[in-house]
Structure 1
Amino acid sequence: MSRIDASVPALGTATVATDVSHFLGEGPTWDPIRGRLLWVDIMDGLVYDGRLTDAATVEIDERIEFPDTAGAVAVSAAGEWVVAGTHRLYFRDTRGRIEAGEQLVDGDERRFNDGKPDPAGRFLVGTKGPGPEELLRVDLDGTATVLDDDLTLSNGLAWTRDGRTLYSIDTMTRRIHVRDYDPVTGATGARRVFLELAEGHPDGMTTDGEDHLWVAVWGGGCVVRISPAGEVVGRVDVPAPHTSCPVFAGPDLDTLVITTAIEGLSEEQRAEHPLSGRLFTVRTGHRGNAPYLWAGRPRIRARGAR
């Protein structure tokens, strides 16, 4: 198990970037074509569309409401969005029209959670609920394939720069998994444990240009940098206990944007951490990788087997 303590070097100071406090801010996504930052407030079913300023603050331009929850958002080269709803994906075209896909998961207490495009533009998305949870891959032809069916809470996803290694988080076990990944076909190798945290719960994550992971630690009030060897080599402290997801944004991909939440905080904790739920930014001296874009709306046909 890996511990996060005072011996881990600090990688800059996170500063508040917005005035809006989110109940469950999540899934920041950089749109490199339009220079936009997208993120979600899951339980309110909102996708936020904003601009990253030169001062590393975020100006909100739009709040788009979806029919139920909004677990994650991804963007295509043309500017279409895919949003992970409660039991299905939603598609927003470039005119702002929203259409629902077919139901892909069941259960009144289950919903889609974190999701991202893979190197070929497929959409990987996991579930959250009371029972064994899944990680699905929605292929280019619309077929949904189960990659994992034994998770406690499917969360962050990230690939190495060459697209040949997939990292995925199972939050309640505090584990980051790793497996081989074929960026052309989407085929996966055997899953294995890459790292297990000793405290806090890993949530969303991203990678940098040196193939290090940046993982938000829910309950830990920080984002940690993890080497390809599985060592915690840096941290960014955030004045909000529930850090949920980081992403590198901006034209040079040198600004780390971090979402946070107030979900699960007591009244005393909210008073002690009044900036909880805000977006934060920090320049760490590291740069991220160009984000993978979604391939565009498929025709969902049928749910496949692993």
Structure 2
Amino acid sequence: MNSYESIPTLGTARVATGTSYFLGEGPIWDPVRGRILWVDIMAGAVHSGRFVHGGAVEAEERYDFPDTAGAVAVSAAGELVVAGTHRLHYRDVAGEISSGGPLIEGSERRFNDGKPDPRGRFVVGTKGPGGELLIRVDRDESVEVLDDDLTLSNGLVWSADGLRLFSIDTMTQSIYVRDYDTATGTGGQRSLFTRLAHGYPDGMTIDRDDHLWVAVWGEGCVLRISPHGEIVAKVDVPAPHTSCAVFAGPELTTLVITTATEGLTLQQLEEHPLSGRLFTIALNAKGVQQPLWAGRSRAQTPTLEG
């Protein structure tokens, strides 16, 4: 199943949930409330859970949104922003859901992966027929286009110092990097960081040594990629459609990995019955706490923590 058999393995992630998700994606660690959030995109659902014994994740709450849920981010106060099909949806601390205006258009296009930048602005990409976008959405929902020529805008993450933005274009198997002005949210000219030879890069996260951890759709693994663009290690996952990863827990040493059943044949589902579940693995590597969303209810400017 795995084209990266020659890469040193750090182990096999263990199944963490009893429920499978059709398109589990976008896990984030909420350090304020000590919980994990993730989405099931086509169900329009955001799930919330906590670590229990042995690295398992106990799902606690589900929040349903009006259409798809491409990504979720949380503010320090506990507000949620969700990338819907063409607009952003917001859930306030009282649980009320509201929706912003349409930011993209096209019946075959929807928002996909997104994350807050180091100042809490929401950066999000699109999936569609081509010419896909990566945009920054400010508090007033004004939009700045970072890219407009992608095949499928996917995972993104900032370097540990917040000064570089890494982003994935899945169908070209490419990971890009650019300088990023945290004060203004302006991105510099992108350049190719690395390109995978096998599988499709999907979601990703980063550790304190600026190694990327990239979930590879179709390969059942998460690759660790050095600051020089070299694949140096991997985590095996017993589910071929590995979609995203994040460092979670108080010490940011547990990697939480989402997977999907989308696109798998009946035979593949029989061969990989754990597909669609969350997985975890404890690692020696330590993650970087990703920025929180700036929120809507009050001025917040979260920053990356050491």
Residues 121, 140 of structure 1: 8 Å contact kept? no
Task: Tell me the residue number matched to 2:62.
Answer: 63
Q: Distance in 1 between matches of 2:28 and 2:136?
A: 19
For residues 151-189 of structure 1, what are the alpha-carbon distances to aligned partners after superposition, in whole Å with 9 as ceiling and x for unaligned?
Answer: 000000011111000000000000000000011111111
Q: Distance in 1 between matches of 2:48 and 2:78?
A: 12
Q: Distance in 1 between matches of 2:188 and 2:297?
A: 25
TM-superposed deviation, 1:13: 2.0
TM-superposed deviation, 1:6: 2.7
Task: Tell me the residue number matched to 2:261.
Answer: 262
Identity %: 67
TM-superposed deviation, 1:8: 1.4
Task: Tell me the residue number matched to 1:18.
Answer: 17
Task: Tell me the residue number matched to 2:109.
Answer: 110
RMSD: 1.3
Q: Secondary structure at the match of 1:153?
A: strand
Task: Tell me the residue number matched to 1:156.
Answer: 155
Residues 41, 47 of structure 1: 8 Å contact kept? yes
Task: Tell me the residue number matched to 2:294.
Answer: 295
- Which residues of structure 2 form unaligned runs of 5+? 299-306
Q: Secondary structure at the match of 1:40?
A: strand
For residues 229-267 of structure 1, what are the alpha-carbon distances to aligned partners after superposition, in whole Å with 9 as ceiling and x for unaligned?
Answer: 000000001000000000000011110000000000011
TM-superposed deviation, 1:72: 0.2
Task: Tell me the residue number matched to 1:129.
Answer: 128
Task: Tell me the residue number matched to 2:137.
Answer: 138
CA 1:181–1:4: 2 relative to 1, 3 Å? farther
Q: Distance in 1 between matches of 2:187 and 2:25?
A: 26
- TM-score, normalised to structure 1, is 0.95
Q: Secondary structure at the match of 1:130?
A: strand
Task: Tell me the residue number matched to 1:46.
Answer: 45
TM-superposed deviation, 1:131: 2.2
Q: Distance in 2 between matches of 1:127 and 1:93?
A: 24
Map 1:1-306 to 2 at 5 A.
5-297=4-296
How many residue pairs align between the two structures?
297
Q: What amino acid is aligned across from residue 249 of structure 1 in structure 2? A: A
Q: Mean Cα displacement is larger for which, 169-178 or 131-140? A: 131-140
Q: What amino acid is aligned across from residue 16 of structure 2 in structure 1? A: A
Q: Distance in 2 between matches of 1:69 and 1:292?
A: 23
- TM-score, normalised to structure 2, is 0.95
Q: Mean Cα displacement is larger for which, 264-273 or 48-57? A: 48-57
Q: Secondary structure at the match of 1:132?
A: strand
Q: Secondary structure at the match of 1:12?
A: strand
For residues 1-53 of structure 1, what are the alpha-carbon distances to aligned partners after superposition, in whole Å with 9 as ceiling and x for unaligned?
Answer: xx963331111220000011000000001000000100000000010011112
Task: Tell me the residue number matched to 1:304.
Answer: none
For residues 44-65 of structure 1, what are the alpha-carbon distances to aligned partners after superposition, in whole Å with 9 as ceiling and x for unaligned?
Answer: 0010011112421000111111
- Which residues of structure 1 form unaligned runs of 5+? 300-306
